[in-house]
Structure 1
């Protein structure tokens, strides 16, 4: 159905290169069918006037004359040029036709060269395209000749041979022609003539069908039209005469007719011949009149030919000017072509730039989207961080209160111990020692202190301790072991490792536990174990260690009634607690002590100072150290300690070299060295206080926690280990549930932190602290995989 509607809305218009006639035909078509309610599609069937397979029409030197040339007389190159010329000309004409139709949809079908007659070609085209409406210009039927008779006869052929569904409209000069009745419309669409009424009326009809055109540009065409019209008139009159003569009924007389019948037939025949003679006489008279009219027409044609010659002469005179105008137009066209090419080049570069900018814009949009997502994540993380900071602030306040209580408690306990003339120590049983060390399990072993000693970590009475086991080869008798225990029981100093108790049966001594191990493992990278390799001491912590060792050694040298020499001072004999406070251990049992032993300790202290400065083991290089000047010392400072203040490093180096340079004839004691070291310590404190150097104070855990740093509030105040199930007591502090329960089971009703009486023994789980501890442990486990 849609296909049928589309076919009904299409009107095929057959026209040629005659613009005047083509415009009139299109105007008639648009006037008849085009309307807003029923829009149509015009399909132009275009045929050029030079379509022929045997010859071509070429222009001559005269602008208004053309000539026919045989195709064989032209070479291939000229034929191609002519075809291009004609093709361009046809495209221009078709373009003008399409413009003339305005807003109406226009399609074009160009009829190429054909071998058969045009009327047969049109009939085949109607059948092939299923054309239902065909408007055909009369000039369309004579592409290679100006004979109107051939156009009329061709139109009759198409009219007779077309299928019944095709409506054919013949238009001549913008007016509809009816071929069957021989009628033609006037300007108002009224039938004005009958083509077969008589020969004279037919002549008038033909003259009306081919009106004269006074345009100068078509003078030659009008002359040819006039002559061809006259010839066609003569041919038509001759045909009509022959037809009428043929129409005379011949009376055939046969042998079977009677005499009367023969007479009647001869009489009828005679009458008809007589009528024909009369008609012939009348026609002769009309021929005389027609000859007079023809003579008048010839005179008129001669006059018009003279006028055309005058026009041709005028055109020849205007030819040079027209040629100059044509050359100027060509130059302008060439310039315009150049400008067009330049504009195209600029446009292409602009389009390329536009594509690049578009790509960049897309990339920028994607980057912006990613950035917005990242900003949202950052804002969310910021919110979470602020919440964590707020929680940490609350915990910080609690920790500050704990620190104040601990400081007060430590001050009270230290003052009490210093005031007592003799310190108490406990003797442990072998069963307690074995239970604390899990039967001296290898997992509890800390290190090998020598060929005959082992050190184990243990817990006695909820306190972390270090148990040093002596073999029988190390202490050859019970008296020697008891003498060592007695000596250590009298030594109580903040920078000396304290003895907590002993076990005579197993020959072991219980010391306080130093969480950060010995200085040697931290200071020398080559001797660092897997658990200590991430520890780093900054320069201020090293200065404090130098001062702590100096104070402890000074205490030994000033013991009454006689001084005690350490005898083997080196980094392995210096232990660090949780706060990197240095303490001396490994004091030998003094058989005798003289000035040479004191000087040996001072030289060992100088060697220790240089080792702390440089991070190198100077054993065996004492002579080189004595000869070393200060500039070389600056070059070998340990970079792991950070940026050393130059004056402090030089002063410590001077003190170390001074200790190494001691001789028998030179007096030097630890008391004077302690004053010098204290000055260096105060200078370092002033530098840090003035903001000239930022010092990060770290805290190390023991081996059970794999040396991973944890905040202090993660540790149980009783066990000094990371809490697994923290509970809040009545004093406001969090403890490990097992530790605080054991504390309360022993009958104590005071706080382990403040030593004040508890209001009650109710314990509340600290879920927030537990969640923080578990999250920290998970992160540590993930980072160690």
Structure 2
């Protein structure tokens, strides 16, 4: 193995391996230049017997001398010595360094294979000569496929006998197939053979076809002079070849550089021509597209103008058709309303006829009973007013519940005060309620408590206040809470609230009449409120009214209305301006007493004035044709036919004698319900359910002739009621008939809306 070998220069002599295998490692006597006497003297001092030394003649040019020294070191292998002659520590250190270098080199090769997802394994061997080590690895590991780096094609013939590739091709086992590759190209393949030592004849040396011993014997016969001459000529040829090679490399480098520049310029020229052609083509396409776009834009402008004209024409036609359709729908709605009104009137007349017949029969039976039992009717009448304990369906609260809801009847929770008790606002049953606490020490308060609980627990109407429960310990009644106060507060604006419009006022009149009609139609006893006034008419969040304070109401039978023996025991009740004058004269409380108070309330709603002397003022204005002078202007501009109708109704109800006052019949209630809709056509009244006051989706006709929402009416009947929600008369049957015509009209109206 060779140690201390200096690094090889980048360009080695291609003729280096042509030196015959002779012992040239001896002294070469080369005289030094005469211009370097120092060097010559030193050379002369050297022992002439040391034939293994090599002398180099150098001149003044350092660059030439360096190249000459490098060639000498490469050629004679100066600086190399056998491993057996070197120091053991040096050899060991060199071995370690060589192994580390080999390990790093092999790891770099493995990383290349790893990047290509190829699994690798490494085998190595230590040998003095590389080509022998390769053959040893092939034999040891039975390698059958081997890829070998080959020398250039023009040097194959020159290095057949000495290169590692040729050695491997000659000495590798017969079963190993070897591929020789140079610069990524396959140069030659030594195929595997079935017989040993069957190699191509091209790899045999032309100068040594016999055995190695015969070649060695022929070489020994050469004389020393011939060797010297051969060496001299060989050296000259090598120097000339080196110079020629350097010149050729320089020229080749220049040519390659010029060719590269020419190719780059040619490529840029081609790219420029191609880009120019593309730009010209693209410009033509853009011009063509622009021209096409402008033509299409002109066409679109023309089409737009035509479509605009057609659209304007169509819109005029649509507007005309809509106007005609609205007129037709209006006529249809009027006809439908009139038809429904006629049907309802017919049904009402039939019911009235039946009611009169029943009243006649009851009057006959009553007359017979009265004759037989005398004054027994009084006890029967008073027996209708029972205690709260007899009402299991009414919720009963404890004193603690009521105190907790009102913070122990705190003054901050008080919202009203009357002659028989106070009203508090509280929270019960998960909602806001109004709690009316009567004075227990007042007998009138106790009577009022029992009376109001008895009446309201049996009644349910959209315009009557709902009683939620009672507390007998505290003599308290819990009602639903109505946030907008009383009608008295809104008419005279005792608080900073907006005034009621004429439509809302007309609707309130209709709602009061509906509630009174319901109370006066109950069977077998009619209910007379007895204390009807604006303070007892409350307004909810939607400004819909509900009548409250039934503490002094009375149950009046048909017998009481006509029998003088029942006219005693009833004292005058209610506020003086709203009390019935006839009641003060004869002491009889009848439904006409409520109608008198209702008339005054109607006139107050119309004028916004106090009740004292109001009927005379309105009658005078009506006779002079100056009704508009006394109307409440804060309600807006009243339609005169609505104002006259309400004024006429109010004056009729305020007649001094009860016989001259009108009865609140269902037909009158329906007429009043249409007044606030006279100036608007948003939702026709016959589209609204009388119970829910909402547009009906499943209109059903009941036996009373009225149309209701199916679900609401079924809920009414399922609660055990067999009376009409509107008239409170007993229904002849409980069957419902779908009103398909009204349902279709509602759907058409909703679609148009």
Q: Same fold (TM over 0.5)?
A: no
TM-score (norm 2): 0.33
TM-score (norm 1): 0.32
